[in-house]
Amino acid sequence: MLLTLLISAQLQVQPVPKYDLEQLYWDCDTAYMKGQLEPKDVMRCLELSVIFVDEHFGGDTKKYNEYWEKNKKEQWARRGYTK
């Protein structure tokens, strides 16, 4: 619930600063991996993910996938998750 409120608040700010967008993306990704997202959170996080890929990678999913593979373990660990 708190995650949804934070994401909603950030998405209301136009435009979302790139650093904040990246942090919110990883917050969502980690919460998903932890199994902490409710259905309404999933939809917000998917929306955020699309914005993140568009803003940071110009919509290039190959570049995004390379970035995710390279950074996921470090970003998850920062948020208390290890696979």
17, part of any domain:
no
Q: Has residue 83 been placed in a domain? A: no
Assign 12 a pLDDT band (cuts: 50, 70, 90).
low
CA distance readout (Å), 62 to 53, 58, 59, 69: 10, 11, 9, 11
Q: Can you read off the two tokens belonging to residue 48?
A: 């955020």
pLDDT band at 38 (very low <50, low <70, confident <90, very high): confident
Name the pTM for this structure: 0.79
Is residue 20 domain-resident?
Answer: no
Residue 63 within any structural domain of the chain:
yes
- pLDDT value of position 40: 82
Question: How does residue 20 score in pLDDT terms, banded at 50, 70 and 90?
Answer: confident
The predicted structure's pLDDT at residue 1: 47
pLDDT of residue 24 exceeding 50: yes
Q: Look up the domain containing 29 and give its range.
A: 2-9+25-78
